[in-house]
Structure 1
Amino acid sequence: MAHHSGTDRSQLLLLPEAVDDYVGPDNPVRFIEAFVDGLDLQAAGFVRVAAKETGRPGYDPADLLKLYVYGYINRVRSSRRLEAETRRNVELIWLLRHLKPDFRTIADFRRVNRSAFRQVFREFVILCRQLDLFGCELLAVDGTRIKAVNNKDHNFTRGSLSKFIREADEKLADYMKRLDESDADEEKATGSNGSGGGMAEKIAAIKGKRDRHKALLDELDRSGEDQISLTIRMPAPWRV
């Protein structure tokens, strides 16, 4: 009896056919989209909000901001990781409508809009707390859980609001710092030219080594020896 073989990868198969069917009505990414789409990004200080009439089209700052908000609440702490998620994460595929910005574009967006991030993320965290948007339990922000259930949380005093804003700002600052550090560490690890070697070349190298090892095993079988030396054998006159 044969094993399950799966589906031929060369066939086009996507069930259900609409990406929207993969994202339920209560999925947090729907709130992220509604939140960002309701912002005046130009007033908030984001640059390049208006598209240029000439030159190569760029990414809409709203889309890149949605990506960062998603990464913020899901603790994705590097531009390369964010790029990878846009290619494999169905929630981000839905949120960005199949857009796949590269990690340098993502990092540059953070660099040029750093001062504008605080106001937007502060508003996002406060709104999440007020509306209990992620269930009536706890809201996880960058690994820190913030209570969002008690009735008193719906009524801010000046002191409690100031404290909450300060804590939200500190969490955002820590998140931005970790993004910078992760990007710097990955840049050192991979070099300035990208990923440090294409996956296709690495797969080919694995196959090459496997074939070579098989050839060595075959040679051992033919010779009856228990080991084989890979050092170069010099002709007799050169031996010491």
Structure 2
Amino acid sequence: MVHLSGTDRSQLLLLPEAVDDYVGPDNPVRFIEAFIDGLDLNATGFVRVAAKNTGRPGFDPADLLKLYTYGYLNRVRSSRRLEAEAHRNIEVIWLLRHLKPDFRTIADFRRVNRSAFKQVFREFVILCRQLDLFGRELLAVDGTRIKAVNNKDRNFTRGALTKFIREADEKLSDYMKRLDEGGRRSQRRQFWPR
């Protein structure tokens, strides 16, 4: 019996011509793009939103924010890993429209816009919760009677919402701290090889 063999690498493959064909209509990156495109980045505190007329053009802060939001959803914290995703991950390639920022640009963007990240991620999490997009699991019960209970996780009061927002802020602060630690470690590795 013969093993399966792949196609010849020099052969022309008939793949979809557009990257858009690889990203389905229900893909989360489409939600990320719609969310970021709907933000007023000046109002949220991002710097360099308006491009300068002189010098080399820079990356649009909205594109870098899309990359960080993708990383936030997929637990990719390192600027080097985000750079790698921009080169190989078809979802990120679609999201950034083939832009490939390097890790320093990605890390500098986070460092310069640190306070603005908190507000955007807070709005993102609240919107996802309101729309039941992420973080919900499906529970199926077959033929079992369950007594109805006003569960404290489903009962939202002003105090509960305040507590939820406070906990979300703490998680975001912890996330930003981990990003900073990862950035410092990668800089140390660059200058102090083992």
TM-score (norm 1): 0.68
Distance in 1 of aligned mates of 2:77 and 2:155: 32
| Map 1:32-111 → 2, pairs under 5 A | 32-111=32-111
Q: 1:137 deviation in Å?
A: 2.4
* C-alpha distance 184-135 of structure 1, shift in aligned 2 (>3 A): closer
Q: CA shift at 1:76, angstroms?
A: 0.6
Aligned to 1:180: 180
Taking a change above 3 Å as real, the CA distance of residues 14 and 56 of structure 1, as seen in their structure-2 partners, is farther
Q: What residue identity is the alignment partner of 1:173?
A: S
Whether contact under 8 Å (1:129, 1:153) holds in the other structure is no
CA distance in structure 2 between the aligned counterparts of 1:94 and 1:116, rounded to whole angstroms:
24
Tell me how far 1:165 sits from its aligned partner. Answer: 1.0
Partners of 2:122 and 2:169 lie apart in 1 by: 7
- Counterpart of 2:8 in structure 1 is 7
Distance 1:97 1:32 in 2: 14
Residue by residue, what CA displacement relative to the aligned partner does 1:102-153 show, whole Å, maximum 9, x if unpaired? 0000011001100111111100000000101138528xxxxxxxxxxx9998
Q: What's the CA shift for 1:174?
A: 1.0
* 1:62 partner letter: A
CA distance in 2, matches of 1:75, 1:167: 18
- The residue that corresponds to 1:216 in the other structure is none
Which residue does the alignment assign to 2:26?
26
Using the TM superposition, give the Cα deviation of residue 98 of structure 1 relative to its aligned residue in structure 2, in angstroms.
0.6
Corresponding residue SS for 2:49: coil
Give the alignment's TM-score, normalised by structure 2.
0.84
Over the aligned positions, Cα root-mean-square deviation in angstroms equals 2.6
| Amino acid in structure 2 at the alignment position of 1:184 | R
Aligned to 1:162: 162
In the alignment, structure 1 segments of 5+ residues that lack a partner are 139-149, 197-240
On the 8 A contact 1:85/1:92 being kept in 2, the answer is yes
Superposed CA deviations along residues 80-110 of structure 1, whole A, max 9, x for unmatched, are 0100000001110010001000000001100
Q: Which runs of 5+ in 2 are unaligned?
A: 139-149
Which structure is richer in relative contact order (CA contacts within 8 A, separation 6 or more)? 2
Which structure has the greater CA radius of gyration? 1
